[in-house]
Amino acid sequence: MMHRILRATARPDFSVVVVFEGGEHAIIDLAGFVADGDSTRRLRDGPGFFVSALAVIDDGDALGWPDDRFNRPG
């Protein structure tokens, strides 16, 4: 069962602290994901952007950044 994301805090090391409904929490290391590919270049080139622009999207189903193409089709 997938739990809705209540809040998320990005860190400059490209990890994200996520709090889910029900009180569960996790630290997710996205460094490998950010390090690979053209679509994550903006995140990789600016850890400040990674940290400041993170948002919980899709009613708590996902994390995203403005103009992220890796999270949405088209």
Query: What is the DSSP code string of 5-70?
Result: EEEEEE-TTSEEEEEETTS-EEEEE-HHHHHSSGGGHHHHH-HHHHHHS-EEEGGGTEEE-TT-SS
Q: Note down the domain range covering 9.
A: 5-64
pLDDT of residue 74: 44
Higher pLDDT, 66 or 9: 9
Q: How confident is the model at residue 68 (pLDDT cuts 50, 70, 90)?
A: low
Question: Phi then psi for 34, rounded to 5 degrees?
Answer: -65, -35
pLDDT of residue 49: 92
Alpha-carbon span 41 to 59, nearest angstrom:
26
Structure pTM?
Answer: 0.82
32 within domain boundaries: yes
Render pLDDT for 14-60 as a digit per residue (tens, 0 to 9). Answer: 999 999 999 999 999 999 999 987 888 888 887 899 999 999 999 99
Structural domain total, the chain: 1
74 within domain boundaries: no
